[in-house]
Structure formats: C-alpha cells, structure tokens
C-alpha cells in the first residue's frame, strides 16, 4: 500500500470534513475562532487536516453540557449504558479498516498496529458491556443486632481524559468505555499531534448517542496544547483526570489536581527492561526483544529500552540481535512489507539524535549504528534507524526514557544483580524475564523481583491485553486502566448501614441514654 492510498476518501467515510472544528459535546460542534492545530503525517510530511483550538469560553460551554448530561446518564441502569457501549463497539467494527489507516497515517505506526489499536477499542467495548452487569459492592456483618451493612459504587461525574499521540484512540477508549458504563460523562483532550483520529472517534460515538436519543455532553471533545489540559486539571467540576504521557507532564497534572484534592489517574513514562538469563529460549527472547524495541518505532510507553543479558549468552544475543536489525525494513507504515515507520515529528528525531550523542559521550559502545534516513520515501525527515548500544545501567541517558528505537544492552553475572539493574531506574511500568527455569521466573515475579506494574515471563514488555489492569509504579504514576477492577477508579465508594430493628444501639457498645 503506497502513500497514495486515498486519505481523503478515508476521512470522508469516517465523517470528517476537510476543515474541522475541534470542540464538540457530541453531535454539536462549536466554532471557536481562527486558531487552528494542523496535523501533519510523519509518513510523508503532508497535512491531513486541521482542528480549531478550544478557548476558555467554549470549554465552559462543554463543561456545562457535560454537567447536565450527567444528571440524565447516571440515572440509566448500568446494563442500559452497557447497551450503548455495545453499539459503539459495533460501529468501530464497521469502521475498523478506515480508522486503522487513519491512525497509521497520522501517528506513523504500522498499518497492522493501527488495526490492532482499533481492535483494542472493540475489545474494551466488549469488556465494558460485561462489566455493566458486574459493578459489585460487598456486604458486611454488623456488630449491632437488627442491622446490616453493605457498600455500593456510584459514578463520579465528569471524567477528564488527556491522551498521548502514540496511542491516539485506544487509551481514550480504555477510559471512556469503563467510565461510561460506570455512569460518568467524559471530556477528552487528545494529543495536539494526533487530533484527526480523535475527531473520527467523536463522530462515531456521537452518532450512537444521538441514535439512542441521549443528550449532548456524554462524550465531549476539546482540542489544544497544554493550556487546555490545564483547564481540566484545575477544574473542581472534574473529579477525575486521567492523563497519559511523559512523567514531566504527569507531575504537573498530578500537582494541579492534587491541589484541589481531586483524583488523578496517571499513566506515564516507562524504562522497560527484559532480563535474558542463561536458561532462556533465545529464539523467543530475540523475537520478544526485537518487537519490544522497534515496534511503533520505539514510541510505546511499554517499549523495551534495556536488555539485561547474562554474560554467558551476551555475545550470542548481541550477534543475533545485530543480525535481526540488519533485516528490518524501514518505510511507509501503510506498506505491510515494512517493519518500522517514522517517529512522530522532527522534535522526536532531535531527541533521538541527542540520546545517541549522550550515550556515546558516556562510554556506550555502538553495536548497530543509528541515524536519520533521507532520500526517496523519507521526505518527512522523521525516519530513523533503530540502533543498539552496549551500555551501563547507571549511565544518565539509560536512566531516562527516550521515545525512540534505541536499545541498551547491559551484561550481568547473577540474577540478584540483574533484578537490581532492572529496578534501578525511576520508572516502573513493564518488565519481562526470558527463562525456562521456574525458580528464576518465580523470583522475578516475587516481592523481591520486578518492581513494575506489569511483569511477564517469556513474552516481551509491550503488547498488554485489555483483560489485565494496565499501569505502573514509581514515576510511571501508579494508575491502573483497562481490565481487572480498574473500573473502581471511575466511581466513588459508599458504605451503607441499615437499621431494621426497633432499637438504636451505638457502635462499640457506647451508651448514651437520657
């Protein structure tokens, strides 16, 4: 599939016009003035479309609509809300190919990964539909006769969602589908680097809400830079802000939300490592490391940044990885023969080049050379070569997340040392160990093992399934999205005690007689 795949036709089928407004409460779109964000494709550098920036007055109108919609939406039975989400899932199925192409073209990930991102949205819709009948509380035995106790969960209200460019639609769905079945309404600020994919999702969702006779404001969209994100973070009418992005961004969101005693759900940076032991199946290990390091051009929060390899197999791993890197085909991600697409923009390319210079200055040994590609097919200037360096875990650059396909190889002697290296970074998102030794695997999964929110055995660090809670520890933020009991983040807990007796005994046996 070439660049000339018909983006205009794709946009039209997704309901997007050539010039777009960027602020919506559902099917209603506001004209917010002359300030625009233009989305350029990193595939070929061409503009895809533009969206209007949400100014303060428009934001206030969005919040007003959301507040009114919440009063209606929260009263619907949860299974009825689930039925609406089921219909959204079906609408995504109908548009999977087109939305996958748009995601690939706007963000730069491979078409297969674009399709996979839309499938992840469909999967979370299915998960949320089932969840809508399972928002369980607990019952407790009261110490007082003739009393019973239980807890229940209620919706919070408006959920603000700030998403990143690397998963321009999936992370929104992780939050919204769960929040919607929980009875919340959502206001989404997508990345200013991928706003057109967000428009497509808003059109799809709005169509379903409108066909069900539901009010404006259940699904709202605002666009802009960090200033629009600050509207959400500092707004006491938004009890929960879910933010995905860098640790630097997350600290600012967390500080702003915390200052008003609101709730924040933070999914931030990762500096993920795979430990390859002397007992590893190297065929699996090399494949897992390869996709983890170069998939999405290293622009996943779960991308593999560090490979901690036992000295007895270090040479073999280094040689096999170098050979595999030599077979990578870099180019237009819509062409399924290519393995690696571009970085998101030239700023990302600059960070990639600075990281390479830094690791060389610190003494890293180049195993597979990096660099920027030029010439036919690379006109956007965003295509780079995945590279590998032999490095030390304490290097300053190794301690930081670089959102690019740079892999650091670190040798170790025993598993305790490997785990210490693994945990010896500020981030704590995803991790993996490659071993056929049960004791090694169990040690890695124990309390004395990986300190990450995700720990895998014999699979890589990227490619999480929606059924598990997704998130990490330390500077990754501590939030959890998607599966398991992540739904509880979008609700408030209420403890209830009912007295069905004719007496009024006090707890703890306190006497207060008059």
Model confidence pLDDT, tens digit, residues 28-66: 999 998 899 999 999 999 999 999 999 999 999 999 999
Share of the chain above pLDDT 90, in %: 96
Domains, the chain: 7-102+128-268+477-493 (3.40.605.10), 272-466 (3.40.309.10)
CB 69 within 8 A of CB 217: yes
Per-residue pLDDT band for 2 (boundaries 50, 70, 90) equals: very low
Q: 426-443 b/e with 16+ CB inside 10 Å = b? A: ebbbbbbbbbeeeebbeb
Rounded mean pLDDT of 338-351? 98
Residue 1 banded pLDDT, cuts 50, 70, 90: very low
Residue 5 pLDDT exceeds 80: no
Q: What is the pLDDT of residue 16?
A: 87
| pTM > 0.85: yes or no | yes
Q: Which of 9-18, 251-260, 340-349, 422-431 has the lowest average pLDDT?
A: 9-18
Could you report the per-residue pLDDT of 263-287, keeping only the tens digit for each?
Answer: 999 999 999 999 999 999 999 999 9
Whether pLDDT at 14 is above 60: yes
| pLDDT one-digit tens code per residue, 61-88 | 999 999 999 999 999 999 999 999 999 9
The pLDDT > 70 percentage for the chain reads 99
The single-letter DSSP state of residue 298 is G
pLDDT of residue 19: 66
Long-range contacts for 75-80 (Cβ within 8 Å, ≥24 apart)? 76/183, 78/132, 78/133, 78/135, 78/181, 78/182, 78/183, 79/132, 79/133
- 428 Cβ neighbours under 8 A, 6+ residues apart: 451, 452, 453, 472, 473, 474, 475, 476
Mean pLDDT, rounded, of the chain: 96
Query: What pLDDT is attached to residue 157?
Result: 98
Residues belonging to the active site: 267, 301
């Amino acid at each position: 599939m070439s660049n000339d795949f018909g983006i205009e036709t794709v946009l039209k089928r997704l309901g997007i016009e050539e010039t777009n407004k960027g602020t919506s409460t559902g099917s209603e779109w506001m004209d917010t003035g002359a300030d625009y964000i233009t989305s350029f494709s990193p595939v070929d550098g061409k503009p895809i479309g533009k969206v209007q920036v949400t100014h303060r007055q428009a934001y206030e109108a969005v919040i007003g609509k959301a507040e009114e919609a919440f009063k209606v939406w929260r009263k619907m039975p949860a299974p009825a809300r689930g039925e609406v989400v089921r219909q959204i899932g079906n609408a995504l199925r109908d548009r999977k190919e087109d939305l996958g192409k748009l995601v690939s073209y706007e963000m730069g990930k491979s078409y297969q990964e674009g399709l996979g991102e839309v499938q992840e949205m469909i999967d979370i819709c299915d998960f949320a539909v089932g969840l809508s009948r399972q928002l369980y509380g607990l019952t407790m035995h009261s110490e007082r006769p003739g009393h019973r106790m239980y807890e229940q969960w209620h919706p919070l209200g408006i959920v603000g969602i700030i998403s990143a460019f690397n998963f321009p639609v999936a992370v929104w769905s992780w939050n919204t589908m769960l929040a919607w079945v929980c009875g919340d309404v959502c206001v989404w600020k997508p990345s200013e680097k991928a706003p057109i994919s967000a428009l497509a999702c808003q059109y799809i969702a709005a169509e379903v809400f409108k066909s069900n006779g539901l009010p404006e404001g259940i699904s709202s969209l605002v666009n802009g830079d960090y200033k629009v994100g600050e509207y959400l973070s500092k707004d006491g009418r938004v009890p929960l802000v879910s933010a995905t992005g860098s640790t630097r961004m997350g600290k600012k969101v967390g500080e702003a939300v915390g200052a008003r005693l609101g709730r924040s759900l933070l999914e931030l940076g990762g500096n993920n490592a795979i430990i390859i032991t002397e007992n590893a199946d190297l065929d699996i290990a090399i494949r897992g490391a390869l996709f983890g390091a170069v998939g999405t051009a290293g622009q996943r929060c779960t991308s593999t940044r560090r490979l901690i390899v036992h000295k007895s197999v270090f040479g073999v791993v280094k040689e096999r990885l170098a050979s595999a890197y030599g077979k990578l085909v870099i180019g237009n991600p819509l062409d399924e023969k290519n393995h690696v697409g571009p970085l998101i923009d030239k700023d990302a390319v600059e960070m990639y080049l600075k990281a390479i210079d830094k690791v060389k200055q610190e003494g890293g040994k180049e195993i597979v050379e990096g660099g920027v590609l030029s010439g036919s097919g690379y006109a956007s200037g965003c295509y780079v070569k995945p590279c590998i360096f032999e490095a030390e875990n304490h290097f300053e650059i190794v301690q930081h997340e670089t959102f690019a396909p740079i892999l650091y190889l670190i040798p170790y002697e025993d598993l305790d040392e490997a785990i210490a290296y693994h945990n010896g970074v500020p981030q704590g998102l995803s991790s993996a160990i490659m071993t056929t030794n049960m004791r090694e695997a169990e040690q890695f999964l124990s309390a004395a093992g990986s300190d990450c929110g995700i720990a895998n055995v014999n699979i890589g660090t990227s490619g999480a399934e929606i059924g598990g809670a997704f998130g990490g520890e330390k500077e990754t933020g501590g939030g959890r999205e998607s599966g398991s009991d992540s739904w509880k983040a979008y609700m408030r807990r209420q403890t209830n005690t009912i007295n069905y007796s004719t007496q009024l005994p006090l707890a703890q046996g306190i006497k207060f007689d008059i």
